[in-house]
Amino acid sequence: MGTVPDAVAPMLAVDGPLPDDDRHGYEWKWDGFRGCVRVAADGQAKITSRSGSDHTDRYPELQDVFGAALGGRVAVLDGEVVALNAAGRPEFELMQRRAMYEPTAKLQAEVPVVYFAFDLLRVDDESLLNLPYEQRRALLAELLEPEDGRLVVPPWYTRADIAPDQLLATAAQHGIEGVVAKRLDAPYLPGARSPLWTKHALTQTREVVIGGWRTGAGRRAGTLGALLLGAYDDEGALVYLGDVGTGFTDDALDHLREVLAPLARAESPFATEVPRDRARGAQWVAPTLVGEVVYRRMTPDRRLRHTSWRGLRPDRTPDEVRVP
């Protein structure tokens, strides 16, 4: 067996308007789960989530694709594991199906995943972290020779190719999550959220920690009606941010009840007060699960408004979820 290289913590982008200049490259923002792929000379590959967890077994259909594309080279890649819809575009709801169930042959056939490789961090014994983004991208295109659609090197653009506002308009037209701008001369900064990368999403999403749930009414009487959400402040206290009661599929409701049941606890895990009407009848849980919601706005007192559930994020850990 070959030696698999060490994982590299992903570099993260800041939110903001896209810079419009000749110093940046532009990529689509893919709606999936971030993954660092580490490949040994014999083709053995490991996929590590943003939080550092080993997710290799979640995606068995990807395990042989990297060695074939690298032709015996050792490499570390940064990219996104995505599930494509019938139109060939990443769809987060499909990734949720992969997250909820064991990756049986039937599920792999119904919801296959693809790895979009958008950065190259190491080749053989050479670290590429200090090379400019533009050079790493060129080397990635030269090195990877995907043999089928399970591995993709997505395109990137400069201002000479297309203006950032046109990219955003195209993203909106085709249901792509957004655009990321990366400084052409930027090194790769492991684990850092850096202004060298700027992301502009077309929808506002936020990761949240689940601290409890309330039963529903009407059609959802006796089952889950809403989740109580929070995030951690700088002192490590779990701050209540609001709740979410829409956006759940029946499968998601069943799965949430299943994973929340063993986490039950008597007292609220929130360090801040939960409004009485939200806390009434709440079932508190240990704050170990991370999810994601879409929201319209956040109030000055840090409450999420007009939320809709997107799904669980097994690739995140609660301590990563910070108060905005």
Catalogue the active-site residues.
29
Residues 284, 293, 61, 1, Cα dihedral to 10° = -70
Q: Are 51 and 316 within 8 A, CB to CB?
A: yes
What is the spatial distance between Cα 267 and Cα 270, in angstroms, rounded to a whole number?
9
What is the spatial distance between Cα 190 and Cα 7, in angstroms, rounded to a whole number?
10
CA-to-CA separations, 41 to 71, 143, 171, 190, 320, in angstroms, rounded: 8, 14, 37, 23, 33
CA-to-CA separations, 6 to 45, 131, 132, 151, in angstroms, rounded: 11, 19, 21, 21
Of 322, 89, 310, whose CA–CA distance to 203 is shortest? 310
Beta strands 283-284 and 193-201, pairing class: unpaired
Phi, psi of 237 (to 5 degrees): -90, 140
What is the spatial distance between Cα 78 and Cα 255, in angstroms, rounded to a whole number?
30
Q: Are 259 and 189 within 8 A, CB to CB?
A: no
Whose tokens are 């693809």? That residue is 114
Amino acid type, 298 = M
What is the spatial distance between Cα 312 and Cα 275, in angstroms, rounded to a whole number?
24
